Structure 1
Amino acid sequence: MEMIRTDNLKKSYMPGKVEVKALNGVDTSIEHGEFVAIMGPSGGGKSTFLNLVGMLDTPTSGEIYIDGNDVTKMSGNTRAEYRLKHIGFVFQFFNLFNELTAVENVMFPMMLNKQSGYKDRARELLGLVGLGDRLRHLPSELSGGQQQRVTIARSLANDPKMLLADEPTGNLDTKSSLEIIELFRKLNVERGQTIVMVTHSPEIGRMADRIIHFRDGKIEAL
C-alpha cells in the first residue's frame, strides 16, 4: 500500500517578475516501509518536494496523498494536527532547544500532543538511538552526531507514519554520517519505518532501498 502518492504536483514561486517552477508535474509513489533517497542537482526540487509531502508548504496545483488521505484538501488546522501526529522531521541543522536536555528535547512534541507517559517514552527513544547514557546532557555537551541522534529520537516521539530527512548528514563528518544512515536503516528494517531522505551524497543514497532523481523540477529517473 502507498504511504505517499503525488499526482501532477506543481509548485511555483514569484520572487520577482519571473515565475520560478520549483516542481513541474511530479507523479510518484512511495510504499509503506520503504527507505527512499531523493537525489539530484541543487535547485532540482528535492527539498521543495519534501516540504510539500511534509505539509510544511502547499502546492500550486496537484494532489498529495498520505496513507490514502488527500492532504491538499485539509484545512490549515487539520494539516498542522495531522503533521504533528503522523510525520517526523530530521533536518541538516539539528534545531534542538539549547536550554533543554536531551530527554527534554525528545519529550517536547509528546507534551504538545498531550501524550501520556512521555517521560518513559523519551528515555526509551534515546536508548533506541544509542544515547541512553546522555539523557541529562545539553546539546552543547553532545557531538554533532549525538545531537542528530537526539533529533531522530524526537522525530519518532509521536510514532510517525513516515520520517522525512533533509540532508540529515550535511553537517557531520564521514564517520558520524555513516552511523546516522546505519541508524536509519535499523529503524527501517526493525520497525518498518518509512523514510524519505534528501541527500547529495551518492554513498549515502546507495544505502537506501531506492533512489528518486530530481532535475529541473521533474523526476529524471526512478
Structure 2
Amino acid sequence: MSARIGVEILLVVGGLDAANQMQGLLEHLGHHVRVAATVLEALSLVETRPADLLIADSRQLEADADVVFRVLGRRQPPLLILPLAPASLPVSAADVDRWRVAVAQAQTLLAQRDGETLQVGDLVIDTATKRVTFRGQHIPLPPIQFRLLVYLAQNRGRVVGAQELLKAVWGYEGDEAEARELVKVHVRQIRRRLGLEAQHADYVQSVRGFGYLVSAPGRES
C-alpha cells in the first residue's frame, strides 16, 4: 500500500479562533479537515463520509462518552480518537506545537493500523510488516528504532526536535538534555545499521542545535 497523502479528520474544538487555527495547521500539513460544533455532530458526519481521526476537546468527549463508544463500536476500521486539552485564549505557540505533535502521533498509529509504505530515496519502510529495506537490503531494527525511523520518515523534509521525538516515540516528556542524549544514541544505532557513516550521514541527518531530518540526498523526499 502506498503512503497516505492526507488523513481524513473531524475536528471538534471549543472556540472559533482555536478551530480556525487548528484547521489551517492541519490542512497545511496535507490533511482533509471537517469542523463540527459538537462531538455528536461529528459522529453524524462520519455516517455520510468516513473519517480516519476524530480530534476533540477532551471535555466534550467525556460529556458524550456513552454515545461515542456506542457509535464507534460499529465502525470498521475503527475511528481513531485524539482527545486534546483545551487551548489557551488566545491560542499560543505552545498550543500549536502540541497539536502538531499529537497529530503526528495519530498519523503514526493510523499507518500502523492500515499498513503504509514510506519511501525516501532508497529507504523503504513497510509499517504493516515492520520491515525496513535500504538500497535493496533488509535492515532489521528493534521496535523503538523502527518507530523512531517511521516518525522521521513521516516528517521527511522537516527538522524534528529531540523533545518532539521523545514524546512521539517514547511517549513521555523530558527535558532537552535527556531528550537529546536518548535520541542521539538511537539515531547513531540506526545509522550504523543502515551502513551510514556519521560524518556523511545522508538520509538520517543531524541539524546541529535543532534536531534530525530524514531526506534523500539529491532528490525530493
- Bigger strand share: 1
Considering only CA atoms, is the larger Rg found in Structure 1 or Structure 2?
2
TM-score (norm 1): 0.29
Query: Does 1 or 2 have the higher relative contact order (CA < 8 Å, sep 6+)?
Result: 1
